[in-house]
Amino acid sequence: MSEIATPSRRQLLTLIGRMGGAAAMYQAMTALGHAAETQFDGPPVLSGAKPGASVVVLGAGLAGMVAAYELEKAGYAVKILEFQDRPGGRNYSLRGGDTFTESDGTVQKVQFAPGNYINPGPWRIPHHHKCVLHYCRQFGVALEPFIQLNHNGFIHASDAFGGKPVRYKEAAVDFKGHTSELLAKALNSGSLDQSVTGEDKERLLEALRGWGVLDDKMAYTSSVRVSSQRGYDRAPGGGVDGAPTPSQIASLSDVLAPQVWTAMSFYFNYVMQTTMFQPVGGMDMIGKAFASRVGKSITYNAKVTKVAQNGKGVTVSYKDVPSGKTSSVSADWCVCTIPLSIISQVEMQVSPKMAAALKAVPYSGHIKMGMEFKRRFWEEDDNIYGGHSFTDQAIGQLSYPNDRMFSQGPAVLLGAFTSGAGAFELAGMTPQERIEAALTQGEIFHPQYRKEFLNGVSVPWTRVPWILGCVSHWSEEGRAEHYQDLVAIDGRIAMAGEHASYYGGWMEGSMLSGLDAISRIHKRSLEA
């Protein structure tokens, strides 16, 4: 990149550097303000907890467990009630031997080979989700890169490129090439002279020539130079026949398929940007790490039936699921992390405002499918290592595994990940029909698909009995009306979970909301 520099610029900078020192200059410049990466700046300091103060936490997902962990560290007596027979909530992984029972009783038994898994819930951690990363570091949860953008993944739009999948690099390079050509044409026609200064116009033309890989006439055309971005018909090689041959660019019309720019935009989402991570061995390593610290406070198989409170504390009634036996637990305070789709159906002694908030948030209906194949043909045959292929078919996308790349033997890819119409279509099928649909649709990308297939599992979140949906989906209006009512401490009760955050669907939102809830409860407790 350094070739861009002109000596005079460097000299200027050197001069500035000499006058004050680079660090001083940087400090002065950052005084203008630098974007904050996260709201997390370390776990809350809960000092001076009253002896004997107690908190009951509902739900042993990440919000509940991080709350319990920090409360116990601060000296609170904590009890956690969990409906399931395991910790983690949506933070979990399915492996060979596991079963998954849908709300109508349909049972799927996972048949993956040892070591293989699928994360039906959260599956990737952005580099700026410092709260999640903090606890991973602290608990020694090993992380590995989650490949997000893969230029060699596919984009498939049924009404573009003749219905044929194209590589991301081809579509993205052609999109920027064609749009650069058009903008250069407009600039040269003078039609933007009112919008751009003369100097910026020249600089922008130069940028478009480079960025768009335009030719001498500022046109986007097939060439070896363009192929050095979008890929070649025959790649460069060695020796006598080493010369590459160029590929043919796609038309403007083809690259205007919404699948192209939505895929390109996807990777620009703040929460989707590289570098991302996943725990080695499955996302549930995080939940398990918390459970190994707060597990002795968890009562499993506890179905909450009523949450009552008065000025002095909270009493939670629950039923032991296998035995049907009812019990109750009392505490000074309650942190409730049960998903709104469930808790809104439970008798809760809260204010009308909070009661309204509990019912105000719809949940998304994502579906995920884990498909096991005999070998990593996407790596071996197609040079795809991690990342995604997008399609406008019901399955939405394929995502390739980021663990144990280059290894031999069966491997699991994500054969569907979608919400909206596609998810409802798949959720309405039997597990076997879903597999059949995923195979038919996946073959668009990988002709080897059906031949290499071994087995699969589908998790339609609308049919997961303990949540009946995937993640909270606040509308702008709903949030304006109900969010503060939801998160405000109601008497002795505070809500937490991804639904009580601005990071819906992310573990970071869950955990930050848990920490925020206990910080306020702690403060209130000291005042009480």
- Determine the straight-line distance between the first and last CA of the chain, rounded to whole angstroms: 61
* Number of other residues whose CB lies within 10 A of the CB of residue 404: 14
Task: Let me know the angle formed at the C-alpha of 333 by 328 and 338, rounded to the nearest 5 degrees.
Answer: 70
CB of 8 to a second copy, least distance (A): 10
Q: In this structure, are residues 316 and 307 in contact, taking their beta carbons and an 8 Å threshold? A: yes
> Which amino acid appears at position 146 of this protein?
F
282 or 505: CB nearest a second copy: 505
Q: In angstroms, give the least distance from the CB of 422 to a second copy.
A: 4
Q: How far is the CB of 194 from a second copy (least distance, A)?
A: 9
The size of the chain, in residues, is 528
Q: Which CB, 221 or 229, lies closer to a second copy?
A: 229
Closer to a second copy by Cβ: residue 48 or 237:
237
Residue 351 burial (10 A CB sphere; 0-12, 13-18, 19+) = middle
Q: Which is nearer to a second copy, 180 or 455 (CB)?
A: 180
Report, in Å, the least distance between residue 271 CB and a second copy.
Answer: 8
| Per-position DSSP letters for 38-77, written without gaps between them | -S-SSS---TTPPTT-EEEEE--BHHHHHHHHHHHHHT-E
430: left (phi over 0), alpha (psi -120 to 50) or beta: beta
Smallest distance, a second copy to C-beta of residue 317, A: 26
Residue 331 CB, shortest distance to a second copy, in Å, is 20
Nearer to a second copy (CB atom), residue 95 or residue 130: 130
Name which of 95 and 388 has its Cβ closer to a second copy.
388
Rounded Cα gap, residues 361 and 476, in angstroms: 11
CB of 398 to a second copy, least distance (A): 11
Q: Where are the beta strands (DSSP E) in 125-226?
A: 125-126, 143-146, 154-156, 166-167
In the complex with a second copy, which residue's Cβ is closer, 114 or 420? Answer: 420
- C-alpha–C-alpha distance, residues 307 and 47, integer Å: 28
Asked if 497 contacts 67 with a C-beta cutoff of 8 angstroms, the reply is: no
